Structure 1
Amino acid sequence: MDSYSLLYSSSHRTGLLSGFQRLRSERKMCDVVLEAGAVSFPCHRALLASSSDYFWALFGETTAERLAGTVSLSALTPEGLDAILDFLYSGWLSVSPSTLPVVLEAARYLQVEPAVSICERFMTDGLNAENCCCYANLAERHALSNALEAADRTVATEMGNLLLRSRDDLLGLNVQSLVAVLDADEIPGVAEAELVQLALDWLDANGPVPLLKSNLLLSRLRFGLVAPSDLARFSHAHKATATPLIRSQLTRALEYHGLGSAQPIRQSRQSTLRASPGRVLLVGGGSGADWPERHVLAFDPRSGKFSSPRCTLPLRLRNPGVCSVGGFLFVIGGEEVQRGDRDGKTSVAAATSDRVWRYDPRFDRWERAASMLERRAQFACCVAEDVIYAVGGRRGRPDADASSAASVEFYDMAAGAWRRGATLPRPLHGHASAALDGGVYVSGGVPGGVPGGVPGHRGVRDENGEISREVLFWDLEGRVWEKRASMAVARFGHRLATARGFIYALLGKYEPFCDIERYDPRSDHWTRLRPLLAGSFDYGTPAAAAASSGNLLVFGGRRWSDGREEVVRSVLEYDTKNDRWREICQLPRPLTGTECTLLPLPD
């Protein structure tokens, strides 16, 4: 058998369509005329039937239209039909925002799926605040799932602008899209009360609405984010809020507002902020170690940008414990710093504190929580299973006789009180802690006063002991402290952070090098990792890795340069998968002594 080659010519296919287009423009060999809105379009049956399932069925062997010279398409507009015929004859689809509805209608009606796909891509690529509601309605009407999902996301993102400038567009939004928008986890810059009012206005504008549809819509609202006074107003504002389902949600929201200290451990979707959960909050710190500021910064790891939330600390604090539970920020103990006047000279005084402050970002409100049982600074603070633990620390002023504490306490949020926990084997301060696998790990620190000597000298002693490499583990069920494998490096004023089931120990205040190490709780073993780019101390790092990347972040701090301290602006990221450091951005200003935690914040 002779061999042969099978070759393909793309120009032939293009020429074939060009030939049909020329015949159509010259009205030659056309065997059917399509009519829409009193406009005639001479066409070729063979090309139409081969390009459209609708025409294939229309010109079938048993239909009346198979021999008809003229076929009326009264459901279509001339503009829509003309655009689709041009596409069938040339492969090019002419569409604009103004013609999109009629072109998409014609493509759907005539079952030209390639044209439908082009229209969907046109919608998805061109979404903005001006057209997102219109495109959402188009996508819902024509069952374009990808475009509908993208349009709904854009409506949620642009909700603040739409409420100000295009409220009528929102009131005309299809119910499926409005339900999806109200179900979104992020709606930047919009208070929940505004969303409740929008939903009630939509029900009035589109009524009467069946009970099932009304409940479906209102049940997506988060009434726990609405102030009690507004809840009372909304409960009487519309008959749709009087249904048993919505009435029960309103009642639960009012009960949530009355929980007091137990609010963080009684969270539900109804009280969860519509905000990114991976925002890093930088609390306090300043351009120098002696005078901490009251400002708060927020860092978004996704965009690498900083913002300034409305909240500021109630007072100036140094070395406090900072953590978050249930979307609430807790600032615990530390040293309260104040300026005084002694002998006509301005001085700075610091007093160790037992006070606890709680910040609720839902309503931008600070509240005093129950004070700790002891005053603590340079203590370890961590959260395990929604319980805050305060471990050890320094009781006195740094310039006076300071003693370390071995005591441990935890915050019982249900009762709004601090309780005693298992005492450390020895007093400790300047240590670090992390929670993992149902337990609390404590590493390093010093059992006594502040270490003396020259910074950078490893193993500096005071009268009570030396910087420690020891690691302790508190089993929350057994409530006893146990020893674990020691770190390779003795550390003081360092940080522990968890990521991907491991604990990472980052450098501390008196270390002459930049080594970090990783602890595997399964094998009880520490591994030395790639050092930091440059040594620093009094930096900020969240206790847990950024949720979006699983990487560790280090903010600012101080380092030694030419025999003196300098405050830095660098933001470093450690890639936990590839053991790699890099600088990702700069702080808005030099910052040292800041404390970090992950907290969702409204934009």
Structure 2
Amino acid sequence: MDAHSCLDVASFALAYGMPGLLEEAEDFVLRNFQEVSTSLKFLDLPADKLLDFLHSDGLCAPSELAVFRAVVVWVEANPAERLAQAQELMTGVRFQLMTFKEFREVRAINLQLLLLLQTLDQCRIRRPKDALVLVGGDQLDPDLGKRLPSRQLWFANSLRTGTGLVKAMDWRILGEIPEKPRFRHGVGVMEGRLYVIGGCEFYTKTDTLKSVYRYDPMQDSWQRLADMQEYRSNFSVVVWGDRLYAIGGDMDMNTNLDSVEDYSPVSDTWSFAKPLDQALSGHAATLLDGEIFISGGFDCRYQCLTSMFLYHPERGTTYLAEMSQDRAQHCMEVLHHGGGGLCVVGGVCNLHTFYTDQLACEVYDSVSDSWSALTPLAIPHVGAASVVLEGKIYVLGGYCQEDYRETRLVHRYEPITQRWENIGKMPGPNTDIRACLLHLPKHLRQ
């Protein structure tokens, strides 16, 4: 499904009574509204369907000006018939979210669309269907006794709180992890429920965890699940098929693991899968086209690696082209825009006998098995969290290796401009934190 076919898919699903496919297609339209609005099929949308999209809080666009322009294009495709519908459609444009400069463009439109001036009460912030959720983390302090690992869950209630293009995030508390705080843990979302796995509660060898909890946002409740078979921190979690996989990590902050465990929610059990070729921690893992990719990390001597490989729970490891830069404690996300690929961002790299911040970013093309440069970060993000939301990469928090200052900022990569944008501060502890996208019911997002 893409921007040119999603509306056809929605029409097909509606005609043949396929509600699941219809929801998926309409969600795609909302997430990619600006691209969809440039397609020929968009011009054939019925007015009532377009209005449904415009009134949705989940509609994603770079600004309300882009939403306004889409309505103008739709009206101008057949002004004789559609001008009469323009006023009602303009009730879906939230003009109070525009800057003065943007609104001047609105006023310059030479149409009877200036009826829209009666609709300036549309000031609700648009929110994506899935909320960006932060889980746990640590707060750096030179005095270990003053460090306060977190049990908190925060979520971004909206991605813009000011008018126009002011970059900010409205953070709110979602709840707390039961029992113990944790950082360097793993998180995964499967069938709409959040899994919080392993990690550390503090900094001694005995503080590594193997406990697992599951959060159900529909019930707003937690459940204790079966422990992993090994204590594990600084590892990666992926959801592959109907199972969760906990990959590598370290067992006591000093000893790396090559083991991989998979969790079955049906039987509430953990089993060992085929191990990695070498013990790893601080690596990144994610899915692309149904395959598990793993990049970088620390080896057994805690050297940062340049490796990139495919992992299969039965076949094991297949090595791919190496990154041009070594890195660990970094992020890796799938970017579908601008050619697409797997983007590696942030972390640390080797520098003689110690580490330094890795600001360089790269993108991997799985078709050509090659790497190319991506716009580098302006500031360090070591031990940061990351997600992809609305086609953009969010890198959240972390710290600076050079002086151990916390990076209390969120940066977002915009593939259209190929720039990193500062969109505000983190809400709480932000080092070795984890992030995910989770669908929250409306009563939790009020």
| TM-score (norm: length of structure 1) | 0.48
Distance of 2:418 and 2:250 partners within structure 1: 34
Aligned residues: 315
Q: Could you tell me how far 1:320 is from its partner in structure 2? A: 0.4
Partner residue, 2:38: none
Partner residue, 2:308: 471
Partner residue, 2:282: 430
Q: Could you tell me how far 1:123 is from its partner in structure 2? A: 5.6
Q: The residue matched to 2:367 in structure 1 has which SS? A: coil
Q: Could you tell me how far 1:368 is from its partner in structure 2? A: 0.7
Distance of 2:428 and 2:207 partners within structure 1: 27
Q: Is the 8 A contact 1:310 1:364 kept in 2?
A: no
Picking from 336, 361, 367, the partner of 2:223 is 367
Q: How does 1:81-230 map to 2 (within 5 A)?
A: none
Q: Could you tell me how far 1:417 is from its partner in structure 2? A: 1.2
Partner residue, 1:358: 214
Q: How does 1:517-528 map to 2 (within 5 A)?
A: 517-528=362-373
Partner residue, 1:298: 155
Q: Could you tell me how far 1:426 is from its partner in structure 2? A: 1.3
Moved over 6 A (4+): 114-117
Q: Deviations over 1:508-547 (max 9, x none)?
A: 13444410101111111111211011123122212xx11x
Partner residue, 1:442: 294
Q: Compared with structure 1, are the counterparts of its residues 439 and 125 closer, same or farther at alpha carbon in structure 2 (3 Å cutoff)?
A: closer
Partner residue, 1:600: 439
Partner residue, 2:425: 586
Partner residue, 2:326: 490
Distance of 2:430 and 2:251 partners within structure 1: 26
Partner residue, 2:240: 384
Higher RCO by CA contacts (8 Å cutoff, separation 6 or greater): 2
Partner residue, 1:407: 259
Q: How does 1:231-250 map to 2 (within 5 A)?
A: none
Q: How does 1:248-287 map to 2 (within 5 A)?
A: 276-287=128-139
Distance of 1:556 and 1:521 partners within structure 2: 28
Q: Could you tell me how far 1:306 is from its partner in structure 2? A: 2.4
Distance of 2:91 and 2:362 partners within structure 1: 48
**1:538 aligned to 2:390?**
no
Q: Is the 8 A contact 1:467 1:490 kept in 2?
A: yes
Q: Structure 1 residues 295-304 or 349-358, which shifts more? A: 295-304
Larger Rg: 1
Distance of 2:302 and 2:133 partners within structure 1: 35
Q: Could you tell me how far 1:121 is from its partner in structure 2? A: 5.5
Aligned-partner residue type, residue 197 of structure 2? I
Q: Compared with structure 1, are the counterparts of its residues 482 and 442 closer, same or farther at alpha carbon in structure 2 (3 Å cutoff)?
A: same
Distance of 2:316 and 2:399 partners within structure 1: 36
Distance of 1:495 and 1:532 partners within structure 2: 12
Aligned-partner residue type, residue 191 of structure 2? G
Q: Is the 8 A contact 1:567 1:590 kept in 2?
A: no
Q: The residue matched to 2:371 in structure 1 has which SS? A: strand
Q: Compared with structure 1, are the counterparts of its residues 117 and 310 closer, same or farther at alpha carbon in structure 2 (3 Å cutoff)?
A: same
Distance of 1:568 and 1:394 partners within structure 2: 24
Q: Is the 8 A contact 1:353 1:377 kept in 2?
A: yes
Q: Compared with structure 1, are the counterparts of its residues 533 and 278 closer, same or farther at alpha carbon in structure 2 (3 Å cutoff)?
A: farther
Q: Compared with structure 1, are the counterparts of its residues 532 and 371 closer, same or farther at alpha carbon in structure 2 (3 Å cutoff)?
A: same
- Unmatched segments (≥5 aa) in structure 1: 1-113, 128-153, 159-187, 189-274, 339-347, 449-463
Q: Deviations over 1:126-158 (max 9, x none)?
A: 69xxxxxxxxxxxxxxxxxxxxxxxxxx9xx99
Q: Could you tell me how far 1:278 is from its partner in structure 2? A: 3.0
Q: Could you tell me how far 1:408 is from its partner in structure 2? A: 0.7
Partner residue, 1:515: 360
Q: Deviations over 1:34-84 (max 9, x none)?
A: xxxxxxxxxxxxxxxxxxxxxxxxxxxxxxxxxxxxxxxxxxxxxxxxxxx
Q: Compared with structure 1, are the counterparts of its residues 383 and 423 closer, same or farther at alpha carbon in structure 2 (3 Å cutoff)?
A: same
RMSD of aligned residue pairs (Cα, Å): 3.2
Q: Is the 8 A contact 1:318 1:334 kept in 2?
A: yes
Q: Could you tell me how far 1:371 is from its partner in structure 2? A: 1.3
Distance of 2:377 and 2:82 partners within structure 1: 53
Partner residue, 1:226: none
Larger strand fraction of residues: 2
Distance of 1:465 and 1:307 partners within structure 2: 35
Distance of 2:326 and 2:83 partners within structure 1: 63
Q: Compared with structure 1, are the counterparts of its residues 441 and 511 closer, same or farther at alpha carbon in structure 2 (3 Å cutoff)?
A: farther
Partner residue, 2:72: none
Q: Could you tell me how far 1:301 is from its partner in structure 2? A: 5.8
Q: The residue matched to 2:201 in structure 1 has which SS? A: strand
Distance of 1:126 and 1:528 partners within structure 2: 43
Q: Compared with structure 1, are the counterparts of its residues 124 and 368 closer, same or farther at alpha carbon in structure 2 (3 Å cutoff)?
A: same
Distance of 1:404 and 1:415 partners within structure 2: 28
Partner residue, 2:17: none
Identity %: 28
Q: Deviations over 1:164-197 (max 9, x none)?
A: xxxxxxxxxxxxxxxxxxxxxxxx9xxxxxxxxx
Q: Compared with structure 1, are the counterparts of its residues 588 and 420 closer, same or farther at alpha carbon in structure 2 (3 Å cutoff)?
A: closer
**1:502 aligned to 2:341?**
yes
Q: Compared with structure 1, are the counterparts of its residues 578 and 394 closer, same or farther at alpha carbon in structure 2 (3 Å cutoff)?
A: same
Partner residue, 2:53: none
Partner residue, 2:395: 554
Q: Deviations over 1:522-580 (max 9, x none)?
A: 111111211011123122212xx11x2x11001122125xx632223221111234422
Q: Compared with structure 1, are the counterparts of its residues 522 and 360 closer, same or farther at alpha carbon in structure 2 (3 Å cutoff)?
A: same
Q: Could you tell me how far 1:585 is from its partner in structure 2? A: 2.4
Q: How does 1:57-68 map to 2 (within 5 A)?
A: none
Q: Is the 8 A contact 1:376 1:394 kept in 2?
A: yes
Distance of 2:310 and 2:148 partners within structure 1: 34
Q: Compared with structure 1, are the counterparts of its residues 426 and 584 closer, same or farther at alpha carbon in structure 2 (3 Å cutoff)?
A: same
Distance of 1:539 and 1:533 partners within structure 2: 14
Larger helix fraction of residues: 1
Q: Is the 8 A contact 2:198 2:209 kept in 1?
A: yes
**1:568 aligned to 2:422?**
no
Q: Is the 8 A contact 1:439 1:473 kept in 2?
A: yes
